[in-house]
Amino acid sequence: MKTIILRTASDYLLPLLLLFSIFILLRGHYLPGGGFVGGLIASIAFVLHAFANGLENTKNLLRLHPGYLMPLGLLVATLAGLSPIFVENLPFMTGIWFQEPLPVIGMIGSALFFDIGVYLVVIGVSLTIIFTITESA
C-alpha cells in the first residue's frame, strides 16, 4: 500500500480532510453535517494517513493516543450540557446562545460545544478501535 503517489497525496489530503471535517462539524446546525459525520471524516483522514505512511508515523503525528480524545470529548459535552445551569440557572442541556451571530458559523451556543464533544468522542472511538486492531493484527 505504501506507494509514493498515495504517500505524497496523503500528506496533502490529511490537512485538507481535517479542515473539511471541521467545516462539516461547524455547519451541522444549518446544513447537512454535524459532529458524527465530521468525526468520522476526520478519522478516515487519519486512517488514510496511517495506510500510506505506516501506523507509527501517524501516531507520532498525533503525539497523544487517540483514546484520550474520548474522555476529553465527554468532558466538553458534559460542560456544554451543564453550562445553562451555571450561566442562567436553567435545567441541564437547555440550549443557550451568544447574542450576536458569527460569520460562517452562525449562532454560537451550547449546542455547538456539545457537537464538538460528540466530534471528539467519535474521532477517539474510531481511531482507538482501528489503531488497536491494526497493532495486534
User: Residue 97's beta-bridge partner residues?
Assistant: 109
Number of residues that bind another protein (CB under 8 A): 50
Considering the rule CB under 8 A, would residue 79 count as an interface residue with another protein?
no
Sequence-distant (≥ 6) Cβ neighbours of residue 131 within 8 angstroms: 50, 55, 59, 66
Q: In the complex, what is the shortest distance from the CB of residue 52 to another protein, in angstroms, rounded to a whole number?
A: 13
Q: In the complex, what is the shortest distance from the CB of residue 5 to another protein, in angstroms, rounded to a whole number?
A: 19
Q: How far apart are CA 70 and CA 75, in angstroms?
A: 9
Q: In the complex, what is the shortest distance from the CB of residue 12 to another protein, in angstroms, rounded to a whole number?
A: 19
Q: Binding residue for another protein (CB under 8 A) from 8, 11, 16, 30?
A: 30
DSSP state letter for 95: -
Interacting residues with another protein between 31 and 60 (CB under 8 A)? 31-37, 40-41, 43-44, 47
Q: What is the maximal distance between C-alpha atoms in the chain?
A: 57
